[in-house]
């Protein structure tokens, strides 16, 4: 029969798993309803699946691999790693949903400026080369598999920090949390608190306080979640509360429709102004053309007048000579 503390640990574990798992869906649904990922960091969407892939492998190895668990016991005075089944379920599920959300960034609308940063492109390359090298060393028995697993946990921690910083920066630069789901963060904070509580409780029940630091992935993930979630809550509810995103997409759809209507109205006014300017331009052009024609006519009259004057002079002189002869 399970002891009270063990039962409490299971309750905490599966509750945090549910909270953290559900936290992925508000953003996924919001993107689907808006058919857009505007307002999201592409670094966040790209790094998230990689981090949870590493976390899934790490948890699976610590939970099910006899080789890794034996190596862990050798380092921790015979104690097993503090990894529960709910940790594995959460990590695998999170990896799948994060991959789906990343796929939305390739299908739905996004701003041209939304690109993976050059810095994280370089980091991804270095991480890939490091994982390849360490896996090869572990295969050749030059490195323990436990060391490889712990490295995977550290990759997850880096990715968690690296994906959160760009999102916080995007919110700051836009002075808005529009297009971004706060429910995701509230659930994430709940999961982080419960996960940390379960880890501490399990280590206390097992009589091994090193079990807290012996699972750096779970410990670091919980602390990072609580720290960044606190920042995001302040951004959403305090700093940029006038520009909140919508969790169900209806408010966002209304705002998008209003923005589109406003754009069409401005375009219509621009066309009217353009038409009015065009009419005035045509009138001025007509007046200039008429003035040119008047000038040409006056010049023609002057030329004809100039030509008639010599002719009249010659005619008068001819009449004078004729009068002289007849006299």
Same-domain status, 99 and 187:
yes
Q: What is the pLDDT of residue 290?
A: 58
Q: What is the pLDDT of residue 3?
A: 85
Q: Which two tokens stand for residue 163?
A: 């994906």
Comparing CA positions, the residue from 266, 200, 87, 64 lying closest to residue 145 is: 64
Residues 37, 123: one domain?
yes
* 235 shares a domain with 259: no
Residue 254 has pLDDT above 50, yes or no: yes
Residues 254 and 242 both lie in one domain: no
Tell me: do 107 and 146 sit in the same domain.
yes
Rounded to the nearest angstrom, the gap between the alpha carbon of residue 28 and the centroid of all alpha carbons in its chain is 13
Whether residue 310 is found in the same domain as residue 182: no
Question: Residues near 84 by Cβ (< 8 Å), separated by ≥ 6?
Answer: 9, 10, 13, 63, 198, 202
pLDDT at 316 over 80: no
Q: Is the pTM of this model over 0.75?
A: no
Say if CB 179 and CB 259 are below 8 A apart: no
The pLDDT score that the predictor gives to residue 327 is: 39
% residues pLDDT > 90 (the chain): 42
Give the pLDDT of residue 246.
43
Instruction: Among 248, 276, 297, give the residue marking a domain's end.
Output: 248
Whether residues 10 and 107 fall in one domain: yes
Give me the chain's average pLDDT, please. Answer: 81
For 30-49, b/e burial (b = at least 16 CB within 10 A) is bbeebebbbbbbbbbbbbbb
Question: Is the domain of 206 the same as that of 305?
Answer: no
Total structural domains within the chain: 2
Across 248-276, average pLDDT: 54
Boundary-marking domain end, from 197, 230, 248? 248
d(CA 127, CA 154): 11
Confidence of residue 96 (pLDDT cuts 50, 70, 90): very high
Residue 27 in this model has a pLDDT that exceeds 80: yes
Residues 38 and 157 in one domain: yes
pLDDT for res 8: 94
The whole domain housing 163 covers 4-248
Q: Output the pLDDT for position 263.
A: 55
User: Are 258 and 235 in a shared domain?
Assistant: no
Q: pLDDT at position 231, please?
A: 93
- Of 195 and 114, which is predicted with more confidence? 195
pLDDT on residue 325: 43
Among 16-30, 144-158, 311-325, where is mean pLDDT lowest?
311-325
- Residue 292's SS3 state is helix
Res 23: pLDDT: 85
Q: What is the DSSP string of 24-77?
A: THHHHHHHHHHTB-TTS-HHHHHHHHHHHHHHHHHHHHHHH-HHHHHHHHHHTT
**Shared-domain flag, residues 152 and 110:** yes
Residue with tokens 């959160």: 164
Residues 228 and 294 in one domain: no
Q: For residue range 166-178, list pLDDT tens digits in order.
A: 788 888 998 888 8
Range among 26-30, 226-230, 249-253, 271-275 with highest mean pLDDT value: 226-230
What DSSP string runs through 91-116?
A: HHHHHHHHHHHHHHHHHSB--TT---
- Considering 217, 248, 279, which residue would you say is the last residue of a domain? 248
């Amino acid at each position: 029969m399970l002891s009270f503390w063990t039962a409490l640990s299971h309750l905490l574990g599966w509750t945090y798993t549910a909270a953290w798992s559900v936290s992925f869906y508000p953003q996924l649904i919001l993107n689907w309803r808006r058919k857009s990922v505007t307002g999201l960091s592409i670094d966040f969407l790209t790094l998230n699946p990689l981090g949870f892939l590493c976390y899934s492998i790490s948890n699976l190895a610590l939970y099910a691999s006899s080789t890794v668990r034996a190596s862990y016991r050798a380092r921790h005075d015979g104690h097993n790693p503090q990894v529960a089944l709910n940790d594995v379920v959460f990590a695998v599920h999170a990896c799948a949903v994060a991959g789906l959300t990343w796929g939305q960034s390739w299908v739905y609308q996004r701003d041209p400026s939304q690109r993976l940063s050059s810095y994280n492109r370089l980091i991804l390359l270095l991480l890939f080369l490091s994982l390849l090298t360490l896996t090869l060393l572990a295969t050749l028995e030059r490195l323990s598999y436990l060391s490889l697993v712990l490295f995977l946990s550290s990759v997850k921690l880096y990715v968690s920090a690296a994906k959160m910083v760009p999102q916080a920066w995007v919110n700051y630069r836009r002075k808005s949390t529009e297009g971004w789901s706060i429910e995701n963060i509230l659930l994430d904070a709940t999961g982080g608190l419960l996960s940390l509580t379960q880890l501490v409780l399990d280590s206390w029940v097992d009589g091994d306080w090193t079990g807290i630091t012996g699972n750096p992935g779970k410990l670091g993930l919980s602390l990072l979640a609580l720290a960044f979630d606190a920042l995001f809550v302040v951004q959403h509810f305090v700093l940029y509360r006038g520009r909140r995103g919508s969790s169900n997409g209806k408010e966002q759809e209304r705002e998008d429709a209003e923005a589109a209507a406003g754009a069409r109205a401005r375009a219509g006014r621009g066309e009217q102004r353009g038409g009015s300017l065009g009419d005035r331009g045509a009138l001025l052009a007509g007046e200039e053309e008429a003035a040119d024609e008047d000038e040409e006519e006056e010049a023609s009259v002057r030329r004809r007048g100039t030509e008639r004057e010599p002719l009249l002079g010659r005619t008068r002189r001819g009449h004078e000579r004729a009068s002289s002869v007849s006299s």
